[in-house]
Amino acid sequence: MEQINRNKLFDVFKPDTDALVYLKAGTVKHRYNTDFEYSFRQESNFLYITGIDEPDFHVILDLKDRTWHLVMPRRDAKFAVWMGHVNPPEYYKERFSPDSVLYDDQLEMVFKKREPETVFCLTEDSAALFRGMGLECNTETLPEAMAYCRSIKSDEELVLMRRANEVASEAHRTAMKMVGSASYEYEVKAAFEHITQKNGMLHQPYGGIFASGSNSAILHYVKNSAPIEKKGHFMIDAGAEYKGYAADITRTFPVSGTFAKPLSDLYDITLQALVETTSGARPGVKMEDLHLHAAKVIVEGLKNCGYVKGDVEDMMQVNLFALFFPHGLGHFLGLDTHDVGGYLKGVEPIDRPGLRFLRARRTLEKGMVITIEPGLYMIPALLEPAFSDAKYKEFLNESALRKLLGFGGIRIEDNLVITESGTENMTDVPKKRADIEALMKG
């Protein structure tokens, strides 16, 4: 798979370019002044190009002859004592088939001998290293080139992403079924991660959200420590990571296993936004148009339920939707949960409430992988000031909305591959109310 990735990167550059590409692996991070190591996660670009999941390596790609060269740390005996077996260069040569394997103390010698016209690297730290050797460096081209390659997933990458989704989906179904018997949010997290870890997926791709009741309106709630409100609803936004590839799934459901008002009404609005934007997603469609479509479904739904009033177009005009749906509709997904490539060079976020936080402003193409994750929240910090804001006041049914200030929020999130004519939904967790109820009862 990494050979396909390397060829993709070589193809971005003109043949015979007299340049080297340099990428650095991740490093181990320690907790403050202790010898406690955070679990290692490889830097995503390095993983994409090499498939090597170890710290302190480097890789050089020679654009002139399309060769690649692995640079490994020279470990001493002390390292082996504390950290375990150290593989020799032959191991990497055989397993990953680079054109050569060098030690890191040979790096400067290699660059000086080769004397490329340019070194393409990702960071200013790397650039400083090569400038110190008297070489020309460019840090603008490579991030863009990597994002270009990583934006369109190969069939091989999609196999890994489907597997991450399969296990994350199983974890969601398991957690949904046990929430009624749990007392604290972290018990649900433990049940969820039991499934991902039992499947060998030892890292989470991001800090999962396990939120009871009003905590579900805190967009990045990661404390996961509160008692579960038995009469309220529960939100899980959590995934799995397989060989570096992320799944990022959200479901919201009643703790009791049975939907009742007002949750049922607000849930159906959110689900409709998800269903309509999912069926609208296909090559040629812009992410911002899907976002605005979801926003309109939410405003229309709130109007039908009597929470807002007035002309829907007027409400869209004043961005009323962003009071209830303040984040972006979705983002690219891949080696990073918020994957690279969401914005092409020169394209800026739209300066409009809600849309400002849209992490991908691309026209969809076959092979892109995106999340669709509309949300509908009752966030006191947004609604309280809006009740007295001349711009919004006339549209809000204040007395009805005030009753919902402690309600929390709803988000539903699926992971989609853009196909030739639409989407493939990789996520397999119930989302219709009746299907959720059936699963929770069963």
Q: Which residues bind ligand GLY (CB under 6 A)?
A: 206, 237, 248, 331, 337, 373, 413
Which regions of 291-422 does DSSP assign to beta strands (E)?
369-372, 375-378, 408-411, 414-418
DSSP state of 308: B
Do 239 and 208 form a contact (C-beta atoms < 8 A)? yes
Residues 232, 407: Cα–Cα separation, whole Å: 8
CB of 218 to ligand GLY, least distance (A): 13
Query: Residue 149: how many CB atoms within 10 A of its CB?
Result: 23
Residues 160, 193: Cα–Cα separation, whole Å: 19
Residues 6+ apart with CB under 8 A from 314: 395
Angstrom CA distances, 391 to 387, 388, 401, stand at: 9, 9, 17
Do 428 and 169 form a contact (C-beta atoms < 8 A)? yes
CB of 361 to Mn ion, least distance (A): 15
259 binding partner (options ligand GLY, Mn ion, none; Cβ < 5 to 8 Å by kind): none
CB of 220 to ligand GLY, least distance (A): 8
- The label of the residue with tokens 């993983």 reads 47
206 binding partner (options ligand GLY, Mn ion, none; Cβ < 5 to 8 Å by kind): ligand GLY
**Closer CB to ligand GLY, 337 or 427, in the complex:** 337
Of all residues in the shown chain, the one whose CB is closest to ligand GLY is 237
Q: Buried b vs exposed e over 197-235: b needs ≥16 C-beta within 10 Å? A: eebebeebbbebbbbbbbbbbbbebeebebebeeebbbb
- The label of the residue with tokens 């804001």 reads 389
**Closer CB to ligand GLY, 116 or 375, in the complex:** 375
Among 170, 185, 193, 248, binds Mn ion (CB under 5 A): 248
**Closer CB to ligand GLY, 22 or 324, in the complex:** 324
Residues in region 381-420 near Mn ion by CB under 5 A: 413
**Closer CB to ligand GLY, 170 or 336, in the complex:** 336
Among 237, 241, 288, 414, binds Mn ion (CB under 5 A): 237
Closest CA to 196 of 212, 176, 175: 175
**Closer CB to ligand GLY, 69 or 359, in the complex:** 359
CB of 375 to ligand GLY, least distance (A): 9
CB of 244 to ligand GLY, least distance (A): 17
**Closer CB to Mn ion, 222 or 318, in the complex:** 222
CB of 196 to Mn ion, least distance (A): 14
CB of 207 to ligand GLY, least distance (A): 8
Among 45, 371, 415, 427, binds Mn ion (CB under 5 A): 371
196 binding partner (options ligand GLY, Mn ion, none; Cβ < 5 to 8 Å by kind): none
**Closer CB to ligand GLY, 232 or 239, in the complex:** 239
